[in-house]
Structure 1
Amino acid sequence: MFRPLAFASLGLLSAACVNSPEVLPFEIQTVYPSVETAPMLGRGEQSADPAIWGTVTADQASLILGTNKDEGLHVYDLSGNEVQFLDVGAINNVDLRGRYAVASNDETNALSWFVVSRNAAEPVLHIGDTKVDTIEPYGVCLGQDDRGLVAAVTYKTGLVEFWRADQSKDADIAATLERTVQLPSQLEGCVFDDTQGLIFIGEEAFGLWALSYGDATAEPYVVDRIEDANGLVADVEGVSLYWAPNGGYIIASAQEADRFVVYDRLPPHSPRGIFAISASEDGAIDGVSHTDGLDVVSAALPDYPSGLLVVQDDGNPQSGVDQNFKLVDWAQVMAALGL
């Protein structure tokens, strides 16, 4: 009799846990998109990850690079207009450092390299590919240290590869595998913090990690776990960095909950707040759901003096249909979270 009663009690306890309301350390704040990009017409998971190339020079406009999992790389201006498309294959994630960009290309099993040019007709040029040693490169991010550019590639197996770029030729780029790190399960989003020598990596079903990537003896350490209930939920997807000289923030997408969690960039990386992106106040732009990739810059850009956040939107407005990217003034996030 004892065992059946114990199992029954456990069943009641489990049911209570499932039905208990979520308790968060912060109230979820709301911000609104100011612009949306032209949609990637069609059904299915198409748009994935954006990267912002910001400039304040008079002779060139800022750009948003956006990946299309089925086709290639779209390029937009800050008004959301598509200005270029590069048919380079099924790419998943993209990142930028300076004028260089890199994307994870699942179709060619490679890192696809790009450079931002000064040609208004073709603002982004595809300059080469680096074959990777592991099938299906998934997430990617780009960093820079005193040795130049370094790309990190993440995989569904939990593997992270670090590729050192050779920029000795202006019109081409090559890279060699420098180091690998193994984490427990599927990864995707990552971002380098060049000034701290760190990389932040999202493990989709677990949480957020940090690693001193230049130290071959360093072990990854945990920034936040889903089970810590600071706002993260599976899947932990896009990760980006809002840089400031004496601080700044990490932003992570909690995909299934349609929200974003913000942490201090500097250790101990304390959580600072949670926000969601609702439809614009005039109703012209729909809200954001199920975000995959995101990017944020702290540089002052036209119409965004405090910086710009760009996020992937799964539904526009219907889930899996005509996906696109939404632009949010970072000043809204700062005001909403009291940063």
Structure 2
Amino acid sequence: MSRSLTRLLPLLVPLALAGCAMHEVDFRGEGDGVVGAGAAVFATAETPSVGEVGEDAADDPVVWAGPRPVVVGGVSTPGIVVGTDKKAGLYVYGLDGAVLQFLPEGLLNNVDAVEGLTVAGRPQLLLGASDRTPGKTGVSLFLFDPAGTGDNGIRPWGAITTDVVEPYGFCFARIGTEVHAVLVGHEGEVRQFVVTVGADGTPVSREVRRFEIGSISEGCAADPATDALYLTEENVGLWRYGLGAGSGDARTLVQPIAPGVLVADAEGLTTITDGDARYLIGSSQGDSTFPVWRIDGAAPVYVGRFVVKDGAIDGVTGTDGLAAWSRPIGPFPNGLVVVQDDVNDVGNQNFKYIDWRDIRAALAID
């Protein structure tokens, strides 16, 4: 999460000249109002504001749908969007943006979801969220039963404990039959875990990898098909690491911070599949645009950028987190992209829904 330090420049510059090491230098902030050039798209739905009025609270979403509608709190929905309120907990939304559930679980920052675990004989959707709540910092885990009925909903399941002082970014990955969880700390610490189910039905986590990115980092997205883990170092750029636990800290700089492509802060990341092609979407928070790379080849290829403009729903600025769903989900037959909006037109921050077809058309993706 970026924090604007512009008002501190008179203090920071003399310190830098004096040779004092500064681990975080973050001169661009959320809500700066700068909007760069990019292909125009429009949101088709949005959620209500999160948290208390006037508070910076919304942060990161995840999108999920099963082969059939699911039930949340007695409401049937073809899919769900789960978003963090980093000052309060976890919201569960329908595809119309309506709130279906709220879990007051504390200071949750980034959230992701993955299939592949069975608990008590029932396949579950596993959700994880980086948790900055004092006394329980790490990754809070949740389960959702896709076959549940009645008051079914997301429920707490346990946690991954870690030595990371301030958990920030988070993403899951399926590597073969294993569920991997990747946590990114505020200062660029990365911890990778394998998550399994214990004999008593509680979560078991095993750390399999750790390395340092270098400075403040958050965005995290995995592409198992190419053994790639993408991470954003906010004031440096977009990195590609290996995804496997044995990959160590070897990396390639996909895109440095640069005007017109990726402007600090480099923030959230997500992937989306379209036919045989896969794309990585990032948040260029400094100019409120979304760069896109095609990633199914030998190396990522830059496609272009889009901007979410004012329309029937207000536009998007300063996005932290974003998420995508690649398959049909409710009224979105080719996929859905959900982004956090830091300046909502009414009330506090919220999440905006964009039809992938509109992004694809705007960027002239075949």
TM-score (norm 2): 0.80
- 1:178 maps to which of 204, 208, 211: 208
1:51 alignment counterpart:
62
Query: Aligned runs of 1:296-307 on 2, under 5 Å?
Result: 296-307=324-335
Aligned-residue offset at 1:174: 2.2
1:11 alignment counterpart:
none
Aligned-residue offset at 1:255: 0.6
2:342 pairs with 1:328? no
Q: Where do 5+ consecutive residues of structure 1 fail to align?
A: 1-25
Aligned residues of 1:211 and 1:219 also touching (Cα < 8 A): yes
1:35 alignment counterpart:
45
2:304 pairs with 1:279? no
- 2:254 maps to which of 223, 231, 243: 223
AA partner of residue 209 (structure 2): R
Question: Which stretch has the larger CA shift, 292-301 or 128-137?
Answer: 128-137
1:205 alignment counterpart:
235
Aligned residues of 2:292 and 2:305 also touching (Cα < 8 A): yes
2:303 pairs with 1:258? no
SS of structure 1 residue aligned to 2:358: helix
Q: Where do 5+ consecutive residues of structure 2 fail to align?
A: 1-35, 72-76, 116-124
Aligned residues of 1:260 and 1:274 also touching (Cα < 8 A): yes
Q: How many correspondences in the alignment?
A: 308
Cα deviation per residue 1:221-240 (whole Å; 9 max; x = unaligned)? 1111113x451000011100
1:76 alignment counterpart:
93
Query: Aligned runs of 1:1-339 on 2, under 5 Å?
Result: 28-40=38-50, 41-60=52-71, 61=77, 62-98=79-115, 99-107=125-133, 108-117=136-145, 118-168=148-198, 171-214=201-244, 215-217=246-248, 219-227=250-258, 229=259, 231-244=261-274, 246-266=276-296, 267-280=298-311, 283=312, 285-317=313-345, 321-339=347-365
Aligned residues of 2:138 and 2:164 also touching (Cα < 8 A): no
Percent identity (aligned): 30
SS of structure 1 residue aligned to 2:105: coil
Aligned residues of 1:56 and 1:301 also touching (Cα < 8 A): no
Cα deviation per residue 1:238-279 (whole Å; 9 max; x = unaligned)? 100012453210000001201100001123211101110012
Mapped to 2, the partners of 1:324 and 1:252 lie a distance apart of 18
Aligned residues of 2:164 and 2:189 also touching (Cα < 8 A): no
Mapped to 2, the partners of 1:187 and 1:308 lie a distance apart of 25
Mapped to 1, the partners of 2:47 and 2:163 lie a distance apart of 34
Radius of gyration: which is bigger?
Answer: 1
Mapped to 2, the partners of 1:154 and 1:188 lie a distance apart of 6
AA partner of residue 113 (structure 2): L
AA partner of residue 63 (structure 1): I
AA partner of residue 253 (structure 1): S
AA partner of residue 333 (structure 1): I
Aligned-residue offset at 1:27: 5.8
Mapped to 1, the partners of 2:138 and 2:248 lie a distance apart of 27
Across the aligned residues of Structure 1 and Structure 2, the Cα RMSD in angstroms comes to 1.8
